[in-house]
Structure 1
Amino acid sequence: MNYRIADLFCGAGGMTLGFVDNRFGGGFDSVFALDNDKSSAATHRTNFGGESLCENIETWISEADVPKVDVVVGGPPCQGFSLLNKRRTGDERRALWEPYLLAVKESGARIFVMENVAELYRSPELDDIRARAESLGFKTSAWVLNTANYGVAQTRKRTIVIGWDSVKVPNGVGMPTQTHRDPSIVVASDRNLTPWLTVKDAFKGLPADTVGIDIGDGSPLDLHFGRSPTTLSQKRYRVVPPGGNRFDLQRNAPELTPDCWIRKTSGGTDLFGRLWWDRPSVTIRTEFFKPEKGRYLHPEEHRPISHREAARLMGFPDDFRFSGSKVDIARQIGNAVPPPFAGAIARSVKEALDAVKMLDSKIDGATSEAA
């Protein structure tokens, strides 16, 4: 029998997929999911069993009966911690871990998994989260992990907090086991690990040209659409070399470079940058279809990466179905937990729960013999 999970702030369901799909982790059934974004809840509903509800967590926790599960997963919104947010003080989104932990307690979960941006790890807020979890009877561990080390073709660093009921799971939950390694750094203990997946690995089988429409049939070409760039944008794309960025644009074609970039002579080395074929991608964010926002140009083609390419870089399989507009889907992709990464977490959680089950079985057996 599979273990039961609930996914709060579920987004598209990248974390859920890692837990329920045997291609990644498996051994869990989706019982409940919650997100306040309508298109995200629809995507989750399309791909998973159980209930997928569109609601704010504060409203839901005050009005509904929290379902009973073994594990609660999810990531309270991370924008309050992000370095991209310069007004972090007092950001109310930072407090949404409180109803999350209340739901953990009311669900009877033995383990919870919280995912957030890397900056959370050194934030005083993490101390508050761990103290609150301890007051509810949960011990915790926290790490900053790079998704490229877990089979994702993307260097995305995230804080993972795992908590376990100190009575129900006495031996705790270990750090997810690394499966891949940076090929430029080889130490004896890592020699048996697979080298990082690359952009070339992720894009395998996709045509260089985008098809321009959403086919909607779940094939690899579904979501392999692009924008309709202006003539000026096309000229800019063409002067950025492999691995280049906005500084190459300025050097090669100053007449095509925005004045604001000319005036800003430092920083922003990923802006208007091309991905490399032989490396993982940089972190995929919600506006990956805009090269002015980051290193989102195709390694060779004169265009931004497509939605399908972004989903591949996140580790979503082609048969995963997204709901909503192009902007909705881009937001879901950029905010997701990469499924292969979630699968590594799921394996650690399942190992801990299986150990408890085995211990309980031995105790029951010993009790029966004594009787």
Structure 2
Amino acid sequence: MIDTTTARRRVAISLFSGAGGLDLGIEQAGYAVAAAVEPDDDAADTLEKNFHGLAAPVIREDILHLPTERILGAAGLVAGERPDLLVGGPPCTPFSKSGFWLDWKRAGHDPDASLLQEYTRVLAQAQPCAFVLENVYALTYDNRASRPAFRRLLREIDAAGYDYRWKVLNAADYGVAQSRPRLFIVGVPKDEPCPELPAPTHGGKWERRDTGNLARPHVTAGQALEGLATEPEAGEEVRGKWGHLLPQIPPGENYLHLTAERGHPEPVFEWRSRYWSFLLKLSPDKPSPTIQAQPGPNVGPFHWENRRLRVPELKRLFGYPDDFDLAGNRASVQSQLGNSVPPPLAAAVAREVVTASEQRDH
């Protein structure tokens, strides 16, 4: 589906590629993903189905044991050549709050955080012309769990020889029909013009405050799904202990609708006794809330028609093309999409990197 062989090639290397949302966005901005590293077989299959510009099959190995030279070789680069762009979103599991009473975790030396360090290892060794790193925005929190890991990451980027900028961007502010805040860090070698982070193109309410460019409203879930014909999917019925309650909840609301505080005559739940996403239903008049990779049986967002979202609907709410082909079963597809970067957001970031590179070249 994606063929970059006839385009001007700005060679990109992708780490922690997943389903390729970040990669799709940078290709839309003018890069060609020549090598990808992704150990999950379903996600790797998805990449190979959709990215036809890869110089070699996806590297399906643990990056902890993968020399940078092999990654560069898979991209068709020879000794002395460097990629135009390094991209990747290391998994966010290192930033759990558990165990931070240990001194070595507070100091940012948690061995589980090594995937961030694998990114900076490749950055230092490959010396790309630019990089884009994406991650959970909780990494920026000023607490014991996140502060050491984030500071360490920025120190390692600096030590690799790069200037950088970082910012938390909400996908809804860039035309995606989903409120999905993510951390982006972009950078270039020191003494070169560092890319800006893109200005919002859309705006509206997010977590009870205004965000983005209010002159152009957020794209709503209803707008994104308008005209989309879908077939029923196995398992889309919401079952479990509480699934029968979903039809009682109005679009845009959650389990709190069934509390005394909201005036329900026969309250079912105590106030704030569940996660916010419990029995959460989409509103067609707002962007979707963040869609999770592994939601529980009663965790939304659910469709306003009182069922689980279907795969074509998920793709629309992330900003993937309708013909993007995902490998694996339904649970795997949910996981791949739920862990991915919405391509329009990635494209907006990558275009700023292209603009900076063109200014440098001229």
TM-score of the two chains, using structure 2 as the length reference: 0.82
Aligned partner of residue 2 in structure 1, secondary structure: coil
Q: 2:316 matched to 1:312?
A: yes
Structure with greater proportional helix content = 1
Aligned counterpart in structure 1 of residue 114 of structure 2, from 91, 95, 112: 95
TM-aligned CA deviation for residue 332 of structure 1:
0.4
Match for residue 218 of structure 1? none
Amino acid at match of 1:181: G
**Corresponding residue of 1:45:** 48
What is the match of residue 115 of structure 1? 134
Report whether the alignment pairs 1:2 with 2:4. no
Counterpart mapping for 1:1-371 below 5 A: 1-21=8-28, 26-48=29-51, 49-50=53-54, 51=56, 52-61=58-67, 64=70, 66-67=72-73, 68-81=82-95, 85-87=96-98, 89=100, 90=105, 92-122=111-141, 123-167=147-191, 170-182=192-204, 190=213, 193-207=215-229, 211-213=231-233, 227-230=236-239, 235-249=244-258, 262=269, 265-266=272-273, 268-288=275-295, 290=296, 292-293=298-299, 295-299=300-304, 301-358=305-362
Q: Is the 8 A contact 1:183 1:195 kept in 2?
A: no
TM-score under structure 1 length normalisation: 0.80
Q: How far, CA to CA, are the matches of 1:205 and 1:197 in structure 2?
A: 15
SS class of match (1:72): strand
CA distance in 2, matches of 1:336, 1:249: 32
Checking the alignment, whether the CA contact within 8 Å between 1:6 and 1:30 is kept in structure 2 is yes
Give the C-alpha shift of residue 39 in structure 1: 0.8
Displacement of 1:125: 1.5
CA–CA distance in 2 between the matches of 1:234 and 1:284?
18
Larger of the two Rg values belongs to structure: 1
Does structure 1 retain, via aligned residues, the 8 Å contact 2:179–2:288? yes
Contact 1:14–1:337 (Cα < 8 Å) also in 2: yes
| Structure 2 gaps, min length 5 | 1-7, 74-81, 142-146
Aligned to 1:368: none
Per-residue CA deviations over 1:40-76 (Å, capped at 9, x if unaligned) read: 1111111112132111111112773534411101111
Native 8 Å contact 1:66 1:106 kept in 2:
no
Give the superposition deviation at 1:245: 1.5
Give the whole-Å Cα distance in 2 for the aligned partners of 1:275 and 1:291.
16
CA distance in 1, matches of 2:71, 2:274: 49
Letter in 1 for 2:66: W
Q: Give the Cα separation in 2 of the matches to 1:336 and 1:302.
A: 25
**Cα distance in structure 2, aligned partners of 1:230 and 1:117:** 30
Please state whether the residue corresponding to 1:149 is helix, strand or coil.
helix
Match of 1:216 in 2: none
The Cα shift of 1:282 comes to: 0.7
Deviation at 1:238? 1.8
**For the Cα contact (< 8 Å) 2:238–2:306, is it kept in 1?**
no
Please report the RMSD computed on the Cα atoms of aligned residues, expressed in angstroms.
Answer: 2.7
Q: Higher mean Cα deviation, 305-314 or 178-187?
A: 178-187
- 1:311 maps to amino acid: K
For the residues of structure 1 that align with 2:239 and 2:149, how far apart are their CA atoms? 44
Which amino acid in 2 is paired with 1:156?
R
* CA deviation profile, 1:251-284 (whole Å, cap 9, x unmatched): 66969x5xxxx46754523311111111111111
Give unpaired runs (5+ residues) of structure 1. Answer: 214-224, 359-371
Range with greater deviation from structure 2 (242-251 or 143-152): 242-251
Secondary structure of 1:17's counterpart equals helix
Deviation at 1:291, TM superposition (A): 5.6
Structure 2 letter corresponding to 1:140: Y
Aligned match of 1:222: none
